[in-house]
Structure 1
Amino acid sequence: EGHTKRGLAMIHYYDKYHSPVLPPIWLVCEKLSFGVLSRFFEALRIDRRRIVGRYIWSYPEHLLVSWFHSLANLRNICAHQDRLWNNPITGFPPATHKTYSIDFTNPTSFYSRAVVIQLLMRELGLNGWWRDSLLALLASCAHVDPRKHLGFPGGWNTRPVWT
Structure 2
Amino acid sequence: MIGNLLLLNTFNEIEKIEVAVRCAVVNFGTEMTGNSFWMTDANNFSNPSKFNRSIRLIEDELNHTKEDFINHFKETYTNQYPPSWMLTEILPFGVITNIYSNIKNKKIKKRIAQSFGLQVAPFESWLTIITVTRNSCCHHARVWNRVFSIRATMPIRMSRPWITLPTDPLKVYFDMCIIKYFLGIISPNNDMLDKMNRLFATFSEVDKAALGFPFGWENEPLWQ
TM, length-normalised to structure 1: 0.79
Question: Over the residues paired in the alignment, what is the CA RMSD in angstroms?
Answer: 2.7
Equivalent of residue 27 in structure 1, options 68, 86, 96:
86
**Structure 2 counterparts to residues 1-163 of structure 1, below 5 A:** 5-15=65-75, 17-18=76-77, 22-45=81-104, 46-54=106-114, 56-90=115-149, 92-97=150-155, 98-99=157-158, 100=162, 102=164, 105-126=167-188, 128-148=190-210, 150-163=211-224
CA pair 11-116 structure 1, distance change in 2 beyond 3 A: same
One-letter amino acid of the counterpart of residue 73, structure 1? V
Ranges in structure 2 where 5+ consecutive residues have no aligned partner: 1-61
Q: CA offset at residue 43 of structure 1? A: 1.1
Q: Distance in 2 between matches of 1:70 and 1:57?
A: 15
Change (3 A) 1:139 1:10: farther
- Structure 1 position 112, deviation (Å): 0.9
Relative distance call for 1:134 and 1:23 in structure 2 (3 A) is farther
Give me the TM-score of the superposition, normalised by structure 2.
0.60
Q: Secondary structure at the match of 1:102?
A: coil
Letter in 2 for 1:110: V
AA matched with 1:152: F
Q: Output the CA distance in 2 between the equivalents of 1:35 and 1:113.
A: 17
Identity of paired residues, percent? 23
3-state DSSP of counterpart to 2:77: coil
Decide whether aligned partners of structure 1 residues 50 and 73 sit closer, same or farther in structure 2, where only a CA change above 3 A counts: same
- Between 65-74 and 23-32, report the one with greater CA deviation: 23-32
Structure 1 gaps of 5+ residues are none
Matched pairs, number: 158
Considering Cα pairs closer than 8 Å and 6+ residues apart, tell me whether 1 or 2 has the greater RCO: 2
